[in-house]
């Protein structure tokens, strides 16, 4: 998916408003597809992003967790974990499927991190739990490239 136009989406957010990719263009967008709330690896991954929050703000990146849980569960999870970024509810993994981040044999997301440039092109795509600094480095590197700028 790297280098491709990011699939559009619109999902309910823990902010109470729908979030759509079209509304986010002009900023970098980071989507963290993860399997479930309250599991050790998922919690650690989201906490690491939270710890690097100021760095994401400095590069004009909008960060969102994405999983299949209902929005009510997502809101409670965000509050309890004190996440500084919203979680998007993707029931059935509709958006995760578009980003090839869904496990077809199981009803949950495959751990995948996607960063999208301000024009909507995927500039970072990695399965697993990449270090937030690796994602930030990809964003920073793309700002030096004239083809990635908005």
Band of pLDDT at residue 55, cut at 50, 70 and 90: very high
Is 59 a member of any domain? yes
Band of pLDDT at residue 128, cut at 50, 70 and 90: very high
pLDDT for position 145: 63
Beta strands 112-116; 122-127: pairing state: antiparallel
User: How many angstroms separate the CA atoms of 63 and 47, rounded?
Assistant: 13
Is 22 a member of any domain? yes
Band of pLDDT at residue 51, cut at 50, 70 and 90: very high
User: How many angstroms separate the CA atoms of 19 and 74, rounded?
Assistant: 14
pLDDT for position 149: 45
**What φ, ψ does residue 126 adopt, rounded to 5°?**
-145, 135
The one catalytic residue in 42, 63, 113, 115 is 42
pLDDT for position 143: 82
Minimum mean pLDDT range among 26-35, 49-58, 99-108, 130-139: 99-108
Is 21 a member of any domain? yes
pTM assigned to the model:
0.92
pLDDT for position 43: 92
User: How many angstroms separate the CA atoms of 26 and 60, rounded?
Assistant: 9
C-beta atoms surrounding 22 within 10 Å:
9
Q: Which domain holds residue 53?
A: 10-129
Contact 117, 24 (CB under 8 A): no
Contact 35, 112 (CB under 8 A): no
Is 107 a member of any domain? yes
Across-strand partners of 11?
19
Band of pLDDT at residue 146, cut at 50, 70 and 90: low
C-beta atoms surrounding 86 within 10 Å:
22
Tens of pLDDT, residue by residue over 75-86, are 999 999 999 999
Is 82 a member of any domain? yes
Whether the pLDDT of residue 147 is over 60: the answer is: no
Is 136 a member of any domain? no
Please report, for the domain that includes residue 97, its CATH number.
Answer: 3.40.30.10
Is 137 a member of any domain? no
- Is 42 annotated as catalytic? yes
Is 148 a member of any domain? no
**Domain tally for the chain?**
1
Whether the pLDDT of residue 144 is over 80: the answer is: no
């Amino acid at each position: 998916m790297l280098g491709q136009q990011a699939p559009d989406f619109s999902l309910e957010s823990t902010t109470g408003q729908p979030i759509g990719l079209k509304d986010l263009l002009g900023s970098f967008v980071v989507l963290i597809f993860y399997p479930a709330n309250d599991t050790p690896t998922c919690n650690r991954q989201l906490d690491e992003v939270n710890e690097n929050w100021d760095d994401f703000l400095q590069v004009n990146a909008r960060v969102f967790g994405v999983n299949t849980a209902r929005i009510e569960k997502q809101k409670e999870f965000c509050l309890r974990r004190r996440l500084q970024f919203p979680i998007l509810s993707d029931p059935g993994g509709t958006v995760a499927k578009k980003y090839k981040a869904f496990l077809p044999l199981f009803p949950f997301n495959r751990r995948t991190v996607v960063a999208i440039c301000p024009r909507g092109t995927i500039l970072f795509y990695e399965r697993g739990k990449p270090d937030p600094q690796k994602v930030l480095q990809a964003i920073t590197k793309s700002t030096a490239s004239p083809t990635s700028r908005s």
